[in-house]
Amino acid sequence: MISQLTKGERQLALVISIAVAFLGLAMAGGGFGNPLGFHGFIVLLFALGVTFLILSGYFAPEPSPERLKRYYDDPIKVGVILSLIWGVIGMFMGVWVAALLAWPEMTFDAAWASFGRLRPVHTTGVIFGFGGNALIATSFHVMQRTSRARMPDQFSPWFVLLGYNLFCLLAVSGYFIGVTQSKEYAEPEWYADIWLVVVWVTYLVLYMRTLARRQEPHIYVANWYYLAFILVVAMLHIVNNLAIPISLTAAKSYSAFSGVQDAMTQWWYGHNAVAFFLTAGFLGMMYYYLPKRAERPIFSYRLSIVSFWGITFLYMWAGSHHLHYTALPHWVQTLGMTFSVMLLVPSWASAANALLTLNGAWHKVRDDATLRFMMVAAVFYGISTFEGSFLAIRPVNSLSHYTDWTVGHVHAGALGWVALITFGAIYTLAPILWKRQRMYSPALVEVHFWLALAGTLVYVFAMWNSGIIQGLMWRTYNESGTLAYSFVESVEAMHPYYIARTAGGLLFLAGIVVGFYNILMTIRRAPSLEASAAKQDEPVTSGAAPSPVSAGE
Amino acid sequence: MSVGERDPHSGHMTTGHDWNGIKELNRPVPKIIWLFLAATVIFSVVYWILMPAWPLGVTYTHGLLGIDQRDSLEAQLEEGAQQQSAWADQIREASLATIQEDPQLMETVRKTGATLFGDNCAVCHGTEGNGGPGYPNLSDQAWLWGGAPEEVQETLRVGINAEHPETRIGQMMAFGENRMLGRDEIRDVVTYVQSLFNPDAVADRPEEALANGEEIFAANCVSCHAEDGSGMTEVGAPNLTDDFWIYGGDRQSLYDTIFYGRQGVMPHWEGRLSPLERKVLALYVVDMSNREE
């Protein structure tokens, strides 16, 4: 992989990784005896590992100019594998925390294994580790293919991918030793946050530079979504993480916001992280891999436009529905609720655009588990966006808030939509990336599909039941006008559902393990593509451009 | 300008774009989407007119209905209080003994008390009040500070070794740790204390140990636990002659108790629970211990 980099890129990579190593050293020295020092050692080790990797291929001959006639796929391959590794880790942690709620003794009296520390390891592992790597990898693939252009350089994609994974590593290792800002989905402390900003801006610039090199007159829908994802996540991340560190040699910081403003900023961030990380990004994925696999044109270009701008505009307002019936002023809650209701329209329009694209290809959905993954993902997208708008209505929220219904809703989206669309995309992508005729075992894809679907259904049904029972128990009064149940009785009533949830999660975890094995065997064993077929997957080099580059519509 | 082609399956034209094989149909947005959008927008606009909705600098539009969540909450609390007033006023005013004799009021105490107990007391004392090591059993007949409803109510109010200025203070001294008694002396006292509630357990112990233990007991323990070991509720000293043990009545536990001492804490509830709630809980707890019989 290093031999593919030009001499200049190798030098740049070496300089940057040595600079990062020094940064790690400074953190380790300055923060000695503080969690920051521990993280300094992690940064140092990570950077030294990358340095040695670069040195190992540093003196290889210059790569052939022939490479410029092909897409640059090496970082995508690594991204797919990293995504699956994080997926297995994150989902395993998910099963563990689920089990912990049913059997609290599974914390083994160890501080690092307490629920409060393991739970962010799960959420960060699956959202940022699994989801984020999948988004980065597929976006690199989609932006090149739909632009029919190779990435402008070979250094920045590696910086983005490895830098991002360093961030995930700092995040997760920090939770075990108690480093957290206590902001949900934004737990990492200030130094990790600053690092992510650097990585993310590089990502945005790389994406725009590739688009600028495109050989197609128009920019495809998938790219709009990926760009919205990158741009808005940058904005959310920077604003919500504004904080003052207590010292430059300590991990702890205090948020720039306090009280209800802090809560509102956090949920503006939290809800739009769902919107632009878990929705927009994965819609970009869906808009490329679903029509590609189905070999059908998108149902309606105009519908794509309406849904894109609807989602982008309306989501921004909806975050306050996380704070119904709190100290947040009533009018802010009203806005959050009404915008959530209007948001249902573009959400369903996107789901419909995906499902109706399959018209004329439903026989493929029946026969091909990969396409079925994406079809079911679109269905779950529709279900969970409906549920989201419904739960945002204040009186409904008074029943559902603080209960497992919320957890069930999140997982209908996270398992049913995000993970299933990712699996569908990866199964479409893997044979293309590794130039194979097909996946190693289509039967195992089928097995994975049913494990994932069964796991999701068991999980979501368990949480619907437990959530509604909880909500009702908390609001039941006896005839003397006092609460009929104590809190602990409602906890007791959850036990069977918590066991069912663990079982559902276990099925889902088994699914991704099967999938990972299948991908690895595809790389090693699946029959390779003939050269002529592989040749179709190449960029248009400037000499033979079919149409001049012009501004997008 | 790229040229569209006709999709044979749907009969629609494509937009003419082609991204690595992906095309798009130039189909109008289905009418139902516009209808659906119009419906949700109309709903929202009506809602904004009726409810507090849009910020206006330092104020906001209050809405035609004049609803505000703070007012709604206060109204609901008022309504709840009225619902409870039928029995709450009676319990507030009646004496504890009167309530205990009123089966209807006691029925309310049992219902309301169960939830209060579950939310506030069960964490330490167990959902059935059975306690556990270090936490007194409330469903039995043994009481450190007295089992009359008035006494229980007072314990609830001020707590034991708590932060309340009037808290009940109870301390078992660390006789071993503080070098007031030697290890052998403690073993002898343990033997004597065992003989108080379970003579069979010390049948095989030497006579002199028992006699020595009795002597040490008389010199060190009687000021709190009384001469016969039956304890004193005025200072929270437990009765040693019954079968009820908070920290265990086996030799090892008794030895640890005398060697290291005990300073159990019960938080005070004044300021956290209302006088009415504490009254209900006191009655509930006393009722709980009577029920077990």
Is the distance from CB of A406 to CB of A499 less than 8 angstroms? Answer: no
- Alpha carbons B181 and B170: distance in angstroms, whole number: 20
| pLDDT class of A551 with cuts at 50, 70, 90 | very low
- φ and ψ at B136, to 5 degrees? -60, 145
Q: Which residue has the tokens 């010292």?
A: A247
- The residue-averaged pLDDT of A25-54 equals 97
| pLDDT class of B292 with cuts at 50, 70, 90 | low
> Tell me, what amino acid is at A279?
T
- Alpha carbons A170 and A8: distance in angstroms, whole number: 29
Is the distance from CB of A226 to CB of A218 less than 8 angstroms? Answer: no
| pLDDT class of A550 with cuts at 50, 70, 90 | very low
Q: What's the gap between Cα B128 and its chain centre?
A: 12
Of A304, A359, A483, the CB nearest to B115: A483
DSSP reduced 3-state for A402? coil
CB contact under 8 A, A288 and B22: yes
| pLDDT class of A278 with cuts at 50, 70, 90 | very high
Average pLDDT score over chain B = 93
**pLDDT tops 70 at residue A377:** yes
- φ and ψ at B145, to 5 degrees? -115, 20
CB contact under 8 A, B24 and A300: yes
| pLDDT class of B86 with cuts at 50, 70, 90 | confident
- Alpha carbons A418 and A416: distance in angstroms, whole number: 6
Lowest mean pLDDT among A69-73, A538-542, B6-10: A538-542
Contacts of A341 in chain B (CB under 8 A): 40, 43-44
Contacts of A335 in chain B (CB under 8 A): 53-54
**pLDDT tops 70 at residue B258:** yes
The complex's ipTM works out to 0.90
Residue window 8-27, chain B: list those with CB within 8 Å of chain A.
9-10, 14-15, 17-27
CB contact under 8 A, A480 and B87: yes
- The residue-averaged pLDDT of A195-214 equals 97
Q: What angle do CA B279, B285, B287 make, to 5 degrees?
A: 100
Q: What angle do CA B99, B105, B107 make, to 5 degrees?
A: 125
CB contact B279 to A (< 8 Å): no
Contacts of A352 in chain B (CB under 8 A): 30, 33
| pLDDT class of B50 with cuts at 50, 70, 90 | very high
- The residue-averaged pLDDT of A392-398 equals 96
pLDDT digits (tens, 9 = 90+) for A347-376: 999 999 999 999 999 999 999 999 999 999
- Alpha carbons B258 and B181: distance in angstroms, whole number: 9
| pLDDT class of B204 with cuts at 50, 70, 90 | confident
pLDDT at site A287: 98
CA-CA distances (angstroms) from residue A374 to A85, A288, A355, A416, A423?
21, 11, 9, 10, 8
Helix or strand run (H / E) with residue A254: strand A253-255
Contacts of A302 in chain B (CB under 8 A): 26-29
CB contact B44 to A (< 8 Å): yes
pLDDT digits (tens, 9 = 90+) for B25-44: 999 999 999 999 999 999 99
**pLDDT tops 90 at residue A530:** no
What's the N-to-C CA distance of chain A in angstroms? 37
Of A302, A325, A331, the CB nearest to B27: A302
CB contact B104 to A (< 8 Å): no
Cβ burial, residue B200 (10 Å; 0-12/13-18/19+) = exposed
Beta A253-255 vs B55-56: how paired, if at all? unpaired
Dihedral sign computed on CA atoms, order A55, A57, A63, A68: negative
Domain A69-527 falls under CATH 3.30.70.1450 = no
Provide the residue ranges of all domains of chain A, joining segments of one domain with +. 1-61, 69-527
Q: Give the distance between the most distant pair of CA atoms in chain A.
A: 85
CB contact B161 to A (< 8 Å): no
Of B44, B87, B123, the CB nearest to A342: B44
**Which of A46, B291, A397, A105 is closest to A38 using CA atoms?**
A46
pLDDT at site A2: 86
CB contact under 8 A, A220 and B27: no
Structure tokens, A116: 């409060």
Nearest CA in chain A to B69: A330
DSSP reduced 3-state for B156? helix
DSSP at A316: T
pLDDT digits (tens, 9 = 90+) for B89-112: 999 999 999 999 999 999 999 999
pLDDT at site B2: 66
Domains and CATH numbers, chain B: 1-67 (no CATH), 70-168+266-291 (1.10.760.10), 183-260 (1.10.760.10)
CA distance B62 to chain A (A): 8
Choosing among B33, B76, B79, B85, which should be mutated to test the A contact, i.e. which has the most A CBs within 10 A?
A: B33
pLDDT at site A542: 58
Of A303, A349, A481, the CB nearest to B80: A481
**pLDDT tops 50 at residue A553:** no
pLDDT at site B57: 92
**pLDDT tops 50 at residue A549:** no
pLDDT digits (tens, 9 = 90+) for A452-485: 999 999 999 999 999 999 999 999 998 888 899 9
Contacts of B125 in chain A (CB under 8 A): none
Of B9, B22, B123, the CB nearest to A359: B9
- The residue-averaged pLDDT of A276-299 equals 97
**Which of A46, A301, A41 is closest to A159 using CA atoms?**
A46
| pLDDT class of A111 with cuts at 50, 70, 90 | very high
**pLDDT tops 50 at residue B119:** yes
- φ and ψ at A499, to 5 degrees? -70, -45
**pLDDT tops 90 at residue A532:** no
| pLDDT class of B3 with cuts at 50, 70, 90 | confident
**pLDDT tops 70 at residue A433:** yes
